[in-house]
């Protein structure tokens, strides 16, 4: 029997094996039917597409997290500010699907363009006394990316503990060569869910898009901006993306710190040393400390989709209008 005769049935056998998995995945019924049709009618195309794009979670990371001690910040002070009916309904839904509860938080500082976001990021780096934790989807091989690595290396050389975590897609290519100045200065850099070598590229769409910076457990910078010229730079650049970043202080920083440390552990980063001040007690004397703030995580390493359900709850609770 020729090798073609052995290979020809393989797509159909794989399709049969994948059908239970497709049905078991929690996704909209229309998407489930579409994948079943693609796999059943065109297995030679549908099977590899599903293996590459169809998975919604990194199962091994979920299993690992459920079987070990959770990293969690200390219990925050009670929230005294009252939430409105829509915000209250959304918050309750988010808590039920795994998000932490709302906490008192200071007024948020928004960065509405790439220049102010770049300045705010460098200001946060300069403020650090003990540690800087940086997580991003893309680290650009451009002036902004090089400036970030250079500033982090300078702070590491000054004795600040620096941990840099980049998603496998945004880290390619030559990540460790690009971040070598940081390593030489005593900082650490890791890749989350590498896309290479080839056998790790299955479900390569399961990326970690979090952009989190935590400084001394007291200040956080979050938002939609990657560390790349197209998002932020010291001077205005043509064709920059319109996006936002923001900085915050208070108990919410602890929730972002916990998210970073979970991802850092999943990526194989060295664990923090005992006694590191990762979760300092927030100062109660902060302007706007009673403004409610809720950190809502989402990503392929979580079993549920809090942001998805939060948006649905907000749409359902709307009483007069919805602005998107």
Residues 6+ apart with CB under 8 A from 206: 55, 56, 57, 58, 193, 300
Asked whether residue 21 carries a pLDDT value surpassing 80, the answer given is no
- The DSSP call for residue 64 is H
CATH number where 181 lies: 3.30.870.10
Q: Say yes or no: 210 and 110 in one domain.
A: yes
- The answer to whether residue 194 is domain-embedded is yes
User: Whole-model pTM?
Assistant: 0.81
Q: Say yes or no: 165 and 16 in one domain.
A: no
Q: Could you read off the pLDDT of 47-77 as tens digits, one per residue? A: 777 766 656 555 445 445 545 567 878 877 7
Q: Say yes or no: 128 and 254 in one domain.
A: yes
- The answer to whether residue 321 is domain-embedded is no
Q: Say yes or no: 108 and 221 in one domain.
A: yes
Tally of structural domains, the chain? 2
Q: Say yes or no: 21 and 135 in one domain.
A: no
- The answer to whether residue 193 is domain-embedded is yes
Q: Could you read off the pLDDT of 182-229 as tens digits, one per residue? A: 999 999 999 988 766 544 544 555 678 899 999 999 999 999 999 999
Residues 6+ apart with CB under 8 A from 133: 163, 165, 212, 213, 214, 215, 257, 260, 261, 264
Q: Provide the 3-class DSSP secondary structure of residue 145.
A: helix
Distance CA 114, CA 157 (A): 27
- The DSSP call for residue 16 is H
Name the E strands within the chain.
103-105, 109-111, 131-138, 161-167, 188-192, 212-215, 219-223, 245-249, 291-293
The residue range of the domain holding 268 is: 103-292
Q: Say yes or no: 34 and 123 in one domain.
A: no
Q: Say yes or no: 47 and 141 in one domain.
A: no
Q: Could you read off the pLDDT of 116-144 as tens digits, one per residue? A: 999 999 999 999 999 999 999 999 999 99
Q: Say yes or no: 172 and 284 in one domain.
A: yes
Contact 267, 60 (CB under 8 A): no
| Percentage of the chain lying above the pLDDT 90 cut | 47
Q: Say yes or no: 51 and 112 in one domain.
A: no
Strand partners, 249: 219
**Nearest of 269, 268, 226 to residue 244 by alpha carbon:** 226
- B/e letters for 104-130, b = 16+ CB within 10 Å, e = fewer, are bbbeeeebebbbebbebbeebbeebee
- Count of CB atoms within 10 A of residue 96's CB? 12
- The answer to whether residue 156 is domain-embedded is yes
- The answer to whether residue 186 is domain-embedded is yes
Asked whether residue 310 carries a pLDDT value surpassing 70, the answer given is yes
- The answer to whether residue 302 is domain-embedded is no
């Amino acid at each position: 029997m020729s090798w073609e005769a052995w290979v020809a049935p393989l797509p159909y056998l794989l399709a049969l094996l994948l059908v239970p998995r497709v049905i078991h995945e929690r996704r909209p019924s229309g998407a489930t039917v579409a994948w079943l049709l693609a796999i059943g009618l065109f297995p030679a195309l549908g099977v590899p597409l599903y293996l590459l794009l169809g998975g919604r979670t990194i199962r091994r990371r979920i299993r690992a997290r459920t079987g070990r001690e959770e990293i969690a910040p200390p219990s925050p002070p009670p929230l005294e500010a009252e939430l409105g009916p829509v915000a209250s309904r959304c918050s309750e839904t988010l808590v039920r699907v795994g998000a932490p509860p709302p906490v008192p938080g200071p007024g948020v500082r928004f960065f509405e363009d790439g220049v102010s976001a770049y300045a705010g990021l460098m200001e946060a780096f300069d403020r650090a006394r003990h540690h800087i934790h940086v997580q991003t989807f893309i680290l650009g091989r451009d002036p902004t990316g090089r400036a970030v690595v250079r500033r982090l290396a300078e702070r590491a050389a000054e004795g600040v503990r620096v941990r840099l975590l980049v998603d496998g897609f945004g880290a390619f290519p030559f990540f460790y060569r690009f971040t070598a100045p940081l390593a030489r200065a005593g900082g650490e850099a890791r890749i989350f869910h590498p896309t290479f070598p080839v056998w790790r590229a299955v479900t390569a769409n399961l990326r970690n898009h979090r952009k989190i910076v935590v400084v001394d457990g007291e200040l956080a910078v979050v938002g939609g901006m990657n560390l790349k010229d197209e998002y932020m730079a010291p001077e205005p650049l043509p064709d920059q993306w319109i996006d936002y970043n923001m900085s915050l202080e208070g108990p919410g920083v602890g929730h972002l710190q916990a998210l970073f440390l979970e991802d850092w552990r999943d990526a194989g980063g060295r664990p923090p040393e005992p006694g590191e001040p990762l979760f300092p007690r927030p100062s109660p004397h902060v302007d706007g400390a009673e403004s409610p703030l809720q950190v809502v995580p989402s990503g392929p390493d979580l079993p549920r989709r809090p942001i998805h359900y939060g948006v649905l709850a907000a749409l359902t609770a709307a009483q007069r209008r919805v602005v998107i």
